[in-house]
Chain A
Amino acid sequence: MDLFEYQGKQYFARYGIAVSPGDVADTVEAAVAVAERVGWPVVVKAQVKVGGRGKAGGVKLAANVKEAREHATNILGLDIKGHVVKRLWIEHASDIKKEYYASFTLDRPNKTHLGMLSAQGGVEIEVVAEENPEAISFLSIDPVRGLDVETARRWVAEAELDDVAREQAAELLVKLYTCYTEGDCDLAEINPLVLTSEDTVHALDAKVTLDENASFRHPEWEAFREGEFEDPREKMAKEKGLNYIGLEGTVGIIANGAGLAMSTLDVVNQVGGTAANFLDIGGGANADVMAAALEVINADPMVKSIFVNIFGGITRVDEVANGVLEALQRVTIAAPIVLRLDGTNAVEGRAILAPHLSDHLITEPTMLDAARRAVSLAN
């Protein structure tokens, strides 16, 4: 789960990481009230889960009520790369002397944690990595041993942060590492990490991605779920407990297993179609799951045909077939359904469907045949 900047800052604050004083606002009036409270000048920042806010006019400095009102009015409702701004973060503007970069993420090839620190922050780190890689100081951290302040001190020196910033930065990095590990983040990034004219170091931005697998030990994450899904189809799927991603095409996809679902998207594409979604119903697909999956896809007006691709392993194909029939009794599905059923009890499954086949319920012997059929029905 990606957090909004304001949520990331709230999360940082739990771990004692310094951020600028500020608050959220959903209206112009609320924005002005926050600004009065945190003190002028303020920065008015669009809350969207996409980069490049500044360039799109979503981050503005305001010195007084008139400017704050003007910027809040302009930014609320602004469309930034398809994300409409519904919420602002207003914070006291820092007097910035230097901008740094800091992040922790998993180093998958080495199976360790990876810290990245640079004295050249404020710009996209990918650009720094490309143009000036020696400006980034990488730190490989053994997940068993973790990061201590001594190591962090050596790290800030190696990254050539300004002398006056080093001790504060080292302590902040240890807190950020704790937030990253104990807070179960896939990514905890501060860009920029600033040194102010008062020689204090704090986080001016927050980019946090949480590891959903760890939600069982983080009840506090529930508060972050508001506004999690912009796509109404994804919201509906999440409520039904389905692993669904909305796409732009016309062939609805239902498959068991993430790999097979991805592969189904690919094959539909190869035979000239476009997938409306990714949907993995997982193992043991019963009638309830199948009905929920068909309902979500049925609610998508773009869908012109539905491709159900099942390879039974632990999932038994006869149960899937019964599930489809039960689902069809509960829900009226507008688009024709093409099924490819293989694996455990496939013969029995096909036999169950045989008396019900029509131009709206079709079976095909292989994945490729079924993809071609579904695509021709959709086009």
Chain B
Amino acid sequence: MSIFVDENTRVIVQGLTGGQGRFHGLRNRDYGTKVVGGVTPGKGGTDVDGVPVFNSVKEAVAATGATASFVVVPPKFAPAAIIEAAEGGITFIVCITEGIPARDEAVTYNRLVEEFPGVRLLGPNCPGIISPGKCNIGITSGDIALAGGPVGIVSRSGTLTYQALHELSAQGIGQTTCVGIGGDPVPGTNFIDCLAAFEADPETKAVMMIGEIGGSEEERAADWIKHNMTKPVVAYVAGVTAPPGRKMGHAGAIISGSKGTAQAKMDALADAGVHVCQNPTEAGAKMVDIVRAM
């Protein structure tokens, strides 16, 4: 099993006719994902390498039965694209767009919660989601993932997600699903959403969690793990040496005052019984030990 997406997930790409949308959309299709259509206003009736393009999400959903959307449009237009997906009947939206203003993210998130309670947004500013061998929506390179489980991965950082996949795949340990939740201040899906889904998924036996400085999502996840999680969790938190008050790339990765430090997050996770490691390699090795001992 996998979480959120599987071999039956039918995906449309909003922005398929753009450079990025075409590149990643077709790459996802070539991986085996059911990419059934694209959406670009004014370009309905055309196709991108055989994938039909529609003028609106509504039309695309009616014609293809898609339930998931991959949003690859510039920051100025991404919030409207997300809302259009929800209005069009999509229930799982992946948005990789980097650079959306926090105010727009806050409005978009709350509109989804209030008007479309059944819709899940992953991202923005995330690498996407891959259930190896079944479905890949986003920019993760499929060849670094290994199908068959038993590890679930959830990460706030893009390249560290790849690093985590690589550490496990290189040792022959597969993954059920790898979710990149993204580093922005208002993520649509958070650690707890993914941990709960992994806890409920019978094929996931252990979870690797990659956090980073900023916010309090890791602390909240630690609290949830302490009270709800029965499966082993291995964690790594990036940014132990990050200076306070400086944004480390991601809009969300900032230590403000005494809040959001890597140490505080690691302490909270360790207190919840999580195996906390000092670097991605150590985290990979720890997970390999745990899986092999099962």
Contact = CB atoms under 8 A, between A and B. Distances in A.
Q: Which of A255, A260, A368 has the most CB of B within 10 A?
A: A260
Interface string A252-284: 000111111111011111100001001010010
Contact of A144 (B99, B110, B250): B110
B162 interface: yes
A139 B242 CA distance: 31
Contacts, number: 170
Contacts of A259: 155-161, 183, 210, 212, 238, 249-250
B24 to A, nearest CB: 8
B281 A266 contact: no
Interface in B209-240: 210, 212-213, 215-217, 220, 236, 238-240
Contact of B141 (A245, A343, A368): A343
B39 to A, nearest CB: 22
A143 B106 contact: yes
Interface stretch (A14-22, A28-36, A210-218, A355-363): A210-218
Interface residues of B, number: 61
B178 to A, nearest CB: 12
Contact of B144 (A108, A247, A343): A343
A109 interface: yes
A150 B93 CA distance: 36
A184 B103 contact: yes
A19 B156 CA distance: 41
Interface string A95-115: 000000000001011011100
Nearest to A144: B110
Given A109-B216, A247-B243, A259-B210, A314 B163 contact: no
Interface residues of A, number: 51
B143 interface: yes
B85 interface: no
Contacts of A111: 106, 109-110, 186
Given A144-B114, A260-B159, A211 B102 contact: yes
B159 A213 contact: no
A270 B278 contact: yes
Given A111-B186, A213-B75, A312 B141 contact: yes
Chief secondary structure at chain A's binding surface? mixed
Contacts of B186: 106, 108, 111
B185 A257 contact: no
A258 B249 contact: yes
B171 to A, nearest CB: 13
B216 A106 contact: no
A304 B204 CA distance: 45
Nearest to B102: A211
A257 B110 contact: no
Nearest to A234: B246
B100 interface: yes
A199 interface: no
A366 interface: yes
A265 B102 contact: no
Contact of B240 (A266, A280, A366): A266
A309 to B, nearest CB: 9
Interface in A22-68: none
A342 B166 contact: yes
Interface of B: 24, 75-76, 99-104, 106-107, 109-111, 114, 127, 139-141, 143-144, 155-163, 166, 183, 185-186, 210, 212-213, 215-217, 220, 236, 238-243, 246, 248-253, 257, 262, 278-281
Given A213-B251, A217-B101, A266-B279, 10 more contacts: A108-B186, A211-B102, A216-B75, A257-B157, A259-B212, A266-B239, A313-B127, A343-B141, A344-B144, A367-B279
9 contacts: A106-B186, A108-B186, A256-B159, A257-B157, A257-B249, A259-B155, A263-B157, A311-B162, A342-B163
The 9 closest A-B pairs by CB, nearest first: A259-B157, A258-B249, A257-B159, A214-B101, A260-B159, A259-B160, A143-B106, A262-B238, A262-B239
Interface of A: 106, 108-109, 111-113, 126, 142-144, 181, 184, 186, 211-214, 216-217, 243, 245, 247, 255-263, 265-270, 275, 278, 280, 283, 311-314, 342-344, 366-368
